Amino acid sequence: MGAGSSKGAALRRLIIGCVAAAAATSAVCGQAAAAGPGPIRAAEFKRLTDQFLRTAPTAGTARAQRRGGGVGIGPTGGKGTDTALLPDQLAVALYGAPQLTSTAVGKRSPSGAARKLRRQARVYSRTSALPVALSINLIGVVATASAGGDRKYRARQDPDVIRTYLKAARSVGARLTLDIQPGRSPLIRELRALRKWIELPDVDIGVDPEWNVGPKGVPGRDEGSIGFRDLNRASKWIEGVVEQGDLPSKAMIVHQFRAGSIKGRKRIRQRQGTDVLLNFDGIGSRAAKKSGYSNLATNRALFNGFSLFYDRDRRLMTPRAVLGLKPTVSYAMYQ
């Protein structure tokens, strides 16, 4: 997933993800992979956050909610849905952040993103045999090209930004997914920082290994990955929150665009309170995306997801084509 004002360095994934495709398809992928700037700088992220909080229609009520001490009531639109995202629904998601203005979420106001998500989901409801669930996938921790104050090469979303998108999600009956691009920070630390949100019944978690660059890496310069141990530790921690709060199970969506994105993927555990899903995150032509998904999708107990890029894919796949993929797609995410 991209951390810059567009998909940024993530576009390189096409060169790798299309290795198994035909040579002509790989050439298309390579052209797309060359486009786009790298991750956002920490100072620019802060500037755009402040701008968003000054101008977003619902940011004022979000700040009032914070002063009142609440998280999941009042201006955020009620307690939210208590129906788990998986496994008995097809999830359709819209991804991005307001600071990243080329993402599907960042191109629109929070309410506009919610409306766009609802329209996209309606198309799936005409084809899917399962009920269609909605999710706004907000990047809650954004990888940055500069170190930031704590030298972790990531920026956390302001709580008022999260509240604003939680309210927008709830306005259309959607769940909120908080995506984590860890930078140099340990995944478990970022989960703990988001705990008050994860304790809500309608908040799920995403993990983006591409931006998990370790203690010496730099996002945009070094391609990250994540190991099964870190993922299993994260899913166990989330399961603990679910059990303590008597919550519906939560999705943990792990993005991948090549085999090396996840180390030891066969040893990832599925848990009672955490539904682990591997989301194929490749950009390109239909043939390239189908090939990449076929290579990386799992037939094990884990769920499968599929990303679609409105502006980057060559001939955007139709919902019917997405639902025809094998193994079955449980999560369709638009960026």
Average pLDDT taken over every residue of the chain: 87
Q: Which domain holds residue 203?
A: 8-334
Q: So what's the pLDDT on residue 5?
A: 39
The CA distance from 139 to 134, in Å, is: 16
Does any domain span residue 71? Answer: yes
Does any domain span residue 1? Answer: no
Whether the Cβ atoms of residue 106 and residue 98 lie closer than 8 Å to each other: yes
Q: So what's the pLDDT on residue 74?
A: 38
The answer to whether residue 269 scores a pLDDT higher than 80 is yes
Q: Which of 137, 119, 111 is nearest to 307 (CA)?
A: 137
Q: For residue range 17-68, what is the model confidence (pLDDT) as tens digits?
A: 443 443 333 323 433 332 345 899 999 999 999 999 999 876 555 555 555 4
Q: Which residue has the tokens 């700040």?
A: 63
Around Cβ 235, how many Cβ atoms within 10 Å? 23
Phi-psi domain of 11 (left: phi exceeds 0; alpha: psi -120 through 50; beta: other): alpha
The pLDDT of 58-87, averaged and rounded, is 59
Whether the Cβ atoms of residue 169 and residue 209 lie closer than 8 Å to each other: no
Q: Which of 34, 92, 80, 20 is nearest to 308 (CA)?
A: 92
Q: For residue range 221-250, what is the model confidence (pLDDT) as tens digits?
A: 999 999 999 999 999 999 999 999 999 999
Global pTM reads 0.88
Instruction: Tell me the backbone φ, ψ of residue 73, rounded to 5 degrees.
Output: -130, 180
Q: So what's the pLDDT on residue 81?
A: 76
The pLDDT of 5-20, averaged and rounded, is 41
Around Cβ 82, how many Cβ atoms within 10 Å? 9
Q: So what's the pLDDT on residue 64?
A: 52
Does any domain span residue 163? Answer: yes
For the domain that residue 206 is a member of, what is the CATH number?
Answer: 3.20.20
The pLDDT of 144-163, averaged and rounded, is 98
Does any domain span residue 2? Answer: no
The fraction of the chain above a pLDDT of 90, given in percent, is 78
State the first-to-last Cα distance of the chain, in angstroms, to the nearest integer: 9
Q: How many domains is the chain partitioned into structurally?
A: 1
The CA distance from 308 to 303, in Å, is: 17
Does any domain span residue 3? Answer: no
Whether the Cβ atoms of residue 282 and residue 312 lie closer than 8 Å to each other: no
